[in-house]
A and B are shown apart, each in its own frame.
Chain A
């Protein structure tokens, strides 16, 4: 990929541009390497400039930035309307999973259904060979033709977690040009390319929120998902009332509004009874989990149990564990040491060293070894 390609048969690549540093540098690197580059931005549904906005052509700053950068790089730039599909799949999913008592990670679903499905299809229809993004991850083509997904070189910025949903037919077309660099290097590259983004902050996770406050968002857009209910112990004692299950996270101690002889922590949610289950520090933590909707990056489930480092959140440290494939795209994970905040709805992603083997969505934590 470092060889400069020239001539009329240059590989064509669509870069998903956000106006931020990473995707801008990704685009600049591809231009420098001689690809035939087209910039594309998805107009996603978001609260502040979606439906009801009085100005149909409202131009959020990010869009203007991306357009300006594309023009500076001399590449075409298009914005495609992704509002309906994004709202119907990602935003609705976000609401539904919270209503079911989970803590969803919409970025995983966006990469699964939007970026590497909807946008990739648009790129391919436009005659592109590749879709590039500004993710900190790497790919490596193995001798058998399979594409391996590797963590970004900058482990602190690694985003392979949210790409664990990708299958071979997506990865074959995926380029992650900034994955070979550290964030400081990427900022330096932005400076070198003269991109006016070198000092911008990283973007936030939930792009469709007007203010980054998902609790307010749910209260406003899905009030049924945020209903007050009982706070109980595992043995059924009611200690107080909660303001709505989405307002709490597993492992949370502060803000429960109950007084008890020893500190209490959120252990889990009981969506069927709209109850928040709390307990002592001793009760916190689980030895394992079961995850569903598992994707194996290689395209094949391992034949039997294997050892892996497992991340249970985007920012969690990988923890050593044994992973056992189960029928119906599920796995059972046993950690060597109990994990405090196994949260249904989040991804459990499996690594062997640098390599991301795949991942699933946590269905439930399990206390005892099976």
Chain B
């Protein structure tokens, strides 16, 4: 069976050119970047060259890049680091976030509320999953005097693909004396992110989302922001993230980001066209279907749909049996699907919230793949609706 991978928002394959760049650092150049000798200097050179590359691409200083194990750790360092700094300086800490964040943000925020007593404020989202600047302004009223506040809002939503108006939101945060962090895990590699233009104070990325290695990522932290590390140890990453550097992963991160940026215009053009054909075709061929997220202001290769009275788990199974790999915000490997909290936050009713489907396109996606999905989807949906209608 020909297999079609349409789950690039979950992860991407490693680009062979990235693997080539990483390869020497698994074997020939194996030194510990902290060591004084020749081997250590070799590793340190690779590390700092990668840092400069990433910093150049994000338009920041190399010292503002912290290498991490991925998006989740980057998010944790941002939120936890600031919360712990507030604790140490005995200032009240407030987290302002939205109901459609990745769990790396929402679960961390809840834990900081429960463990460190952080105040948690939730700013609502519109039907596309975006935060309205006026709503953020309203949510930021009456912050505690002498406190530290962090607004963390996702750049591009993983489930429905919409982009937040980050520059406007960050500006409003700053007007109220708050810092601004964004989870740009989906956006990195698909948009040309410039932290100055975005106006953010911290930004998280994960390398495997843009054809880099798993277990590697980075956090941009604007100069002057005090973070208290959670992972304590030696002085790596300027005391912001202890642990021996994953040099191959870091080299791969830089190379992958470099390639993504170089090929971005062509990739965007190609994936946007394929995505539009997929969305239009699905809406045309399947009844009781809606596009979720913003129709245009969204990830180029991201198509998210909801099907009325369809359980995503079954849909993913039917598609998988036809060789199509997709995902959903409500599916669950152990058969206990719950309504998607994101779709609920976007205002979808119970007849829709179990029926989300996310098809995310990437380098390997062809016109034929889209044809195959458009042929399989209506039949799979019809089978599921037929069988569950009388159950």
Contacts and interface: CB of A to CB of B under 8 A. Distances in A.
Nearest to B316: A78
A364 interface: no
Interface in B315-342: 317-318, 320-321, 332-338
A121 B335 contact: no
Interface in B345-391: 383-384, 386-387, 391
Interface string A62-99: 01000100000000101111110100000000000000
A76 B337 contact: no
A41 B333 CA distance: 11
Given A80-B314, A85-B391, A58 B334 contact: yes
A317 interface: no
Contacts of A82: 335
Given A57-B332, A81-B313, A125 B337 contact: no
Nearest to A41: B335
B335 A80 contact: yes
Contacts of A41: 335
Given A80-B314, A85-B391, A127 B336 contact: no
B387 A43 contact: no
A76 B386 contact: no
A235 B299 CA distance: 81
B334 A126 contact: no
Interface string B9-52: 00000000000000000000000000000000000000000000
A81 B335 contact: yes
A79 B332 CA distance: 9
B317 A78 contact: yes
A56 B391 contact: no
Interface string A109-152: 00000000010011001110000000000000000000000000
Given A57-B332, A80-B313, A121-B387, A126 B318 contact: yes
Nearest to A38: B321
B335 A79 contact: yes
A76 B321 contact: yes
B383 A43 contact: no
A42 interface: yes
B67 to A, nearest CB: 30
Given A42-B335, A43-B334, A43-B335, A127 B321 contact: yes
A3 interface: no
B311 interface: yes
Nearest to A118: B391
Given A118-B391, A126-B321, A127-B321, A79 B314 contact: no
Interface in A164-216: none
A60 to B, nearest CB: 8
A76 B323 CA distance: 11
* Interface-central residue, A76, A80, A81, by most chain B CB under 10 Å: A81
A15 B311 CA distance: 21
Given A122-B314, A126-B321, A81 B336 contact: yes
A54 interface: no
A79 B333 contact: yes
Contacts of B334: 43, 57-59, 63, 79
Contacts of A42: 335
Contacts of A83: 336
B311 A81 contact: yes
Interface string A330-359: 000000000000000000000000000000
Contacts of B335: 41-43, 63, 78-82
* Interface-central residue, A57, A118, A125, by most chain B CB under 10 Å: A125
Nearest to A126: B321
Nearest to B317: A78
Interface string B194-217: 000000000000000000000000
Contact of B336 (A56, A76, A125, A126): A56
A81 B337 contact: yes
A89 to B, nearest CB: 10
B342 to A, nearest CB: 15
Nearest to A60: B334
Contacts of A76: 320-321
Contacts of B317: 78, 80, 126
B321 A125 contact: no
A8 to B, nearest CB: 9
Contacts of B320: 76, 78
A140 B386 CA distance: 31
A67 B335 CA distance: 12
A125 B381 CA distance: 11
B308 to A, nearest CB: 18
Contacts of A118: 391
Contacts of B332: 56-57
Nearest to B314: A80
* Interface-central residue, A42, A58, A80, by most chain B CB under 10 Å: A80
A313 to B, nearest CB: 31
B206 to A, nearest CB: 22
Nearest to A42: B335
A92 to B, nearest CB: 15
Contacts of B336: 43, 56-58, 81, 83
B333 A122 contact: no
A158 B326 CA distance: 42
B111 to A, nearest CB: 15
A78 B321 CA distance: 10
Nearest to B391: A85
A125 B383 contact: yes
Interface string A23-45: 00000000000000010011100
Contacts of A122: 314, 387
Nearest to B384: A125
Given A56-B336, A63-B335, A79-B335, 9 more contacts: A43-B334, A57-B334, A57-B336, A59-B334, A80-B313, A81-B336, A125-B387, A126-B317, A126-B321
15 contacts: A38-B321, A43-B334, A56-B338, A57-B332, A58-B334, A63-B334, A67-B333, A80-B313, A80-B317, A81-B311, A81-B336, A121-B387, A125-B383, A125-B384, A126-B317
Q: Which 6 A-B pairs have the closest CB atoms?
A: A43-B335, A79-B335, A125-B383, A125-B387, A78-B317, A81-B335
Interface of B: 311, 313-314, 317-318, 320-321, 332-338, 383-384, 386-387, 391
Interface of A: 38, 41-43, 56-59, 63, 67, 76, 78-83, 85, 118, 121-122, 125-127
